[in-house]
Every structure is written in C-alpha cells, then in structure tokens.
Structure 1
C-alpha cells in the first residue's frame, strides 16, 4: 500500500504538470513579447514504468545464490560478530522466560571448549559476467570460506573456486564449470547514470533467491568510511542481508553497481543501500581475471579534506583540495619533494577533493608520471611525481634512535583553546609511549568541554607544527599562535600526531588568550 501511494503521487504530479502546460504553444508572457524563463522542473515528464516484468525475466537467470561454509574451531571468531551471530539464531522469547534460559544454555553447551569444530554457513549473491562461468560477488561473502557453492536460477548447483579477491574494494571473482554456456549480463557505464534514474536490484535477501526490487539512484559518490576508495552509489531499492554481491541494473539491463552495504539500525532495509559503481568494479574484476590480484598506483601521502576552518588557517580560497598531513619515507611524494601542509588541488589537470585522491591515484599505473597542482604558501605550482605500486605490506617503521635531550621547559597553558602543553622530554615519552624519534610538544591536559576537546585533541597527543612551521618547545608553540593572532588570522592550524597518525586541527582565534 505504501508503494502504491508513492506511485500515485508521482503520477498525479505528472498529470498536474502536463495540465498546466496544455494549450501553450510557446513559453511567452501574455502581457509582453518577452521570453519567460522556464521554471525548475519544466520539460519532458517521464512516467513511472508500467512494469519491470520483462526486464526482470531477462535478467534473473544470470543472478546466482552464493553459499559458503567454513569450519570454525573454538577460539576462532569469538568476537562481537560471533556474539551477533549467536543472538541472531536465538528465538525471540520474553526476557527472563524459561524458554530464553533453555536456548541460551543450549547454545553455550554447543560452543563449550570441549565441543567439536563447528561448520558455519553464509549466503550471499552474485552474477555471471561470462558464459564460461565467471561470477562476480563481494569479497566478504566468500572470505575464509572452505567451500563455495553457486545455485543458478533453475536450481542447478555448481561448485565454485575463487579466481581472486580484493579486500580494499570488497570484490571477488569466482569460476564455475558448466557443460552448457551460462546466461550472463554485462557491465554498463555507471558514470552515465544520474541521480533519479530507475534501477533494479536482484539478489537473495535472507536466502530468498531470485528477489527483485526497484528504486532509484538516490545519490552518487558516497563515502561511508569503509576504506580509502569509497565511491558508492546510494539507492533506495530495497536490499537486505543476503543481497551482498548482487547486481544493481539500469533500465537497459546493464550492471551499474554491485550491492555491498546498507545503512540500518535493525539489519533490514530502510531505503539506504550502497553499491560499488561499475566504473570502478570493471577494472578491478579485469585485473582479478587476468592476474588474480589487483595492482594500484600509490602517492605515499596521508591527506585530509580541506574544511573551511583549515582554509582560513592557510589563507586558502576557496576551501578545496587534499591537505598533506603525512609523507611516507622514500615514497613517491617524498621523492617529488612534497611538503607537509601542501594542498593538492588537481591531478593531471583535473580538480580533486581530498577523499577522492587515493581512489584516483590508485587508477594510475605504476611508473606513470602524474602532475599534481599543489597550493603552497599562496601559490599553485606543478609537481611531477612518478607513481609507484601500492606496497603489499606497511612501510618499515623508522629506526628507534634516542633523541637528544633538550632543556626542560615549563608547561604552557593555552586557556582559551582549552589545553596545556609541556616539553617532550624522556619522562613524557615514557608516560605517553612516544617514540624517541618523535619531535614536538606534548599535550599534558585538555579542558573538559573546551574547544580542544571538541576538536578531538587528547592528553598525550604531540603537536609538531603550527601554521606549517615546526615547534619543539611550549614557548615556540605559544609564540606561533600569538603571531597568528597579531596577523589577525581567523584560525590557526596545528599538526597533531596520535596513535592513528597525523592530522591538522584548526582552532579559531577569536579573543584567544594564550596566557
């Protein structure tokens, strides 16, 4: 009923728009011979499709059920996910009832230390992209599986083997053997699809095979903090657990996305689903098919988005680009002489935003010379950089060498900013577990509910730069901030190091008191 109401509303609106333009031979004012600007929304009105049946009938045979099994020994997977798995199997009995206690005790007996290894099963979706039996799905669907089984629309069951997988984009490629050519679908161009376009999702939610749902593209380029290459299509086509790895089709029957995640508090669809766009998936799947793995380009920088506060601190207008908050030793950026505090604004002449840089640089083959448009101290310069291959393992940690002792300095309170700093001496290094090679000043206290607390500054953090200038004593830090105040800057940027790495934190300087 709810869906019908929505469709009727759209149809009614369409009729109103058409009725409002009926009888008008041209867009001219009745009072004067001057053109009238067309209102927003005017133009051709596309009606709701009468049915998706023909399209669904054509596509369903190429969508498969992916079933996996895994042997889990006691001690493996005993984490939050295991608790969630157990609770999901528990019937919904009233709290404190005898039935609840019975099933709770039963489940605990089955996972006792003396119990035999368990077989865990999982269900997902996939789709055939080649009649020879190549199947695309999500990596998390088949991860750690001992056995992978694919069930076709006609209930044919085939054993599958993994050709390759990519953790960073959550994609995997499978292969099945069949005596007959299999029905298949093709990738479309997701870049040509717009917000508001109709889409069709097919998959196996909760193991219910061959489920078809429809919706529209709700948004594009979504970053949901799943990884450095987030670029999801958002859709309101209902997708649920079990839809993972299934296709998102356009109205031409081409795959424009791979359904991967949903936003939900209950575990069910609330109309916010996310799909990997085909423009990204096509290249990844091609590499997996050819090499069994994925090679990516790498710049060797850690970046932040440029917010308005950060732009104010840098005197940068407008606020855009990727702020360099860290440079990997001996990486491509270091060899190209990029500096901390540089703002990368373009890649090979194309404007970029911060979170898009890792994804765009990953698409560039290793050995290629790319040109970065870098904003540095008020000027934009061209920086050529030779892209390297993304390392398979983390870069080697710097050698630990004892830093020379510096003369101790008193703590400095930056009361208006809400924190106090002290000298990073040997005692502070031991107290806050700071490496001997780290330079800067250490945050010794943070005022509760103060500006620093709101900005995420914590006791034990180390501040190494103010306004792109190094600081090694509390007095230097105070002086740099006072200089920014005298220059009547709206905000000041501090480069802060913690256990997660380095990041720039902007602080407003309105009526700031550094005493």
Structure 2
C-alpha cells in the first residue's frame, strides 16, 4: 500500500448575549458564495448496475465457527492491480548544471545517468459490476500509464483504463472489458456497528490474495490528515501494504468498505487500519462514472470570534474560583 462521507456541511449560528458589554460580532462574511451544483449532462454514462443487499444482520447471531462459505463467495470479486508509470529523476546537483555558465566550465557531469525510470506498484481492487467497473484507491493508480488487473485465479489478466479519480477521498474507478464478471454485493455501511465482524481481502506485499478477520473498532474516524474528506471505518483486521483498494466485507460477505491505509511505526500492520465506507465510495464512483469528476459545493465564509475578553478583575471571589 502506497503511503493509508458524503461531505457534511456545518452551519453554526452565533447569537450575541444581550447583557454582554463586549459582545462583538464582526462576522466578516467574505461571501463570494460559490455553491457549485453537481449536475449530470445529458451525455453522462448510464449508472452502473450494482448488486445491493441492505438487509440487517440478525442482532442475536452467534459467531460463526468458519467463514469458508463467505470467503469462497467474495474472493473472486477482489482483484490484484499492477500499475506502472515513468518517473523523471533529477540528480542532486542537476539544477546548478542547468545554468549555461556552469556548463561552460564543468560540462554535464550527469549526462550518462538515465533521466527516466519505470516505477511499479501493486494494490488491490473490487469488481462492483459484471461489465468490469472496479473500485480501488486513487494512490494505487495515480499517474499510471499502464494498469494490469489480475483476477483471483491468477490465470486471467486484463488491461485496465482509468475512468476517474478523486484524490480528496482517495477513491478511483477503473474498468476492464469483460462480461459476467464476479461482482460483489454492496450493502449500507451506515448499518455497521462497532464490534461487528469484518474480513479484509487483498494482496498484501504481493504474496497473493489473503483474507484476515477482525472487528469494526470505530466509525467516523476523521482528522487523521490522510485525505481531505475522512469518515473512515477503523478495524483491527490485518491490513498491510498491497491491501490498498481491497475489500472490507461484513459477516454476510457484503462490501462495507474499501481498505485505504494503516497507522504503523514499522510499516506493517499494528491493528489500526482504515477503510473508506462503501456509502462514500459508491457516491464518488457514481459521480466519476457519470461526470468523470466529483464536483462539490462550498461557501466562502470566514468568522471572527463572537466574544472577546479584554480584562479580568480579580476580587475576593477569585481565589475561591480557582
């Protein structure tokens, strides 16, 4: 894994207190209110045909002794993604030798060093439609000029093209040309509860498809500084480099998240992994397929403090108040 909501708008109303002497409300509204509406043009692609199942799991369900039937059902939908891109490398002192003055005296000392190299990476993805749409992470395919997708059997490989990417949520949609592909069933990730059993499926370290089990450790994780829009599902199911873009499924084998990143001091799994909820990933995917991008509205508002404290008068009550 290279390193790993629908947007919520908050409005806050501040009312000045009637008896507050220094209640100032310089609510400087630099309101060039650019609310951009995401509209779908007439030529937009048809909505993908997804398999969905939003039924609730039984609240009194006993823990399963084996997840073999679920794994057999789900693993064909999880693919390995191999990407490559050309990276231009600049020697450490090259900027100095771009100057004609330096070249006049020193020549070009790095002219025998290749200026470009091929960078390869691997990740995972999830087939979400029978005609070949695949959900993955943006950082798995970012900048790639060559993408190969290998199915779970490791016998079938396809060239893939990027349909759209959204760096702000780290979601990307790619497509392979195929028919009757093993599309996964999607459910409502809002129904997940902390403590629910989940399985993480992907291709860690390129060793091959791997399944790990854990629980939902937390929901709505944000403020991690990973991407702009964060509403992560946190899980202790083992997630490692190469799992990026893989599936997080519930105990019924339904897709609830796209594995995205981990917090680790060693580079490996330490029990803190994050997945993008499928409700968010699905919203982004549908926008990317329809429009090629995700358009979001925003309101340019800056606000000063509603109340300011200019002075504190210490009287006999100060020591008692602490």
TM-score (norm 2): 0.70
Residues 128 and 183, structure 1, Cα contact 8 Å, conserved in 2: yes
* Partner deviation per Cα, 1:283-334 (whole Å, 9 max, x = no partner): 1111001111001121224xxxxxxxxxxxxxxxxxxxxxxxxx2xxxxxxx
Task: Give 1:60's match in structure 2, choosing from 65, 75, 81.
Answer: 75
**1:166–1:487 distance in 2 versus 1, CA, 3 Å:** farther
Contact 1:74 1:113 in 2 (8 A): no
Secondary structure of 2:69's partner?
helix
Per-residue deviation, residues 158-189 of structure 1 (Å, max 9, x unmatched):
000000000100000001112x3211113211
What is the RMSD of the two structures over their aligned residues, measured on CA atoms?
2.2
Gapped runs of 5+ residues in structure 2? 1-58, 93-109, 316-320
Cα–Cα, structure 1 residues 271 and 175, in superposed 2: closer, same or farther, change >3 Å?
A: same
How many equivalent pairs are there? 239
- 1:69 is aligned, of 84, 94, 97, to 84
| Contact kept in structure 2, 1:222 and 1:233, CA below 8 Å | yes
- For 1:48-447, what aligned pairs fall within 5 Å after superposition? 48-75=63-90, 114-116=112-114, 117-155=116-154, 156-178=156-178, 180-223=179-222, 224-301=224-301, 327=302, 339-341=303-305
Structure 1: which 4+ aligned runs deviate by more than 6 Å? none
TM, length-normalised to structure 1: 0.44
Deviations 1:138-162 (A, max 9, x none): 0000001110110011221100000
Secondary structure, aligned partner of 1:481: coil
SS of the residue aligned with 2:310?
helix
What CA distance in whole angstroms lies between the structure 2 residues aligned with 1:293 and 1:177?
21
Write the deviation string for residues 433-469 of structure 1: whole angstroms up to 9, x where unpaired: xxxxxxxxxxxxxxxxxxxxxxxxxxxxxxxxxx2xx
Choose between structure 1 and 2: higher helix proportion: 1
Q: SS of the residue aligned with 1:122?
A: strand
Q: Is the 8 A contact 1:136 1:245 kept in 2?
A: yes
Q: Which residues of 2 match residues 486-505 of structure 1 at below 5 A? A: 486=313
Contact 1:148 1:159 in 2 (8 A): yes
Contact 1:187 1:282 in 2 (8 A): no
Q: Secondary structure at the match of 1:239?
A: coil
Compare CA radii of gyration and give the structure with the larger one. 1
Could you tell me how far 1:251 is from its partner in structure 2? 1.5
Structure 1: gaps (5+ residues): 1-43, 79-111, 302-326, 328-338, 343-376, 378-466, 468-479, 489-509
SS at match of 1:135: strand
Q: Distance in 1 between matches of 2:87 and 2:227?
A: 27
Deviation at 1:487, TM superposition (A): 9.1
Over 3 Å counting, the alpha-carbon distance change for 1:146 and 1:154 in structure 2 is same
Distance across 2 between alignment mates of 1:341 and 1:113: 58
Distance 2:199 2:252 in 1: 10
Structure-1 residue corresponding to 2:98: none
Q: 1:113 to 1:201 in 2, by over 3 A?
A: farther
Structure 1 residues 113 and 48, CA gap change in structure 2 (3 angstroms): farther
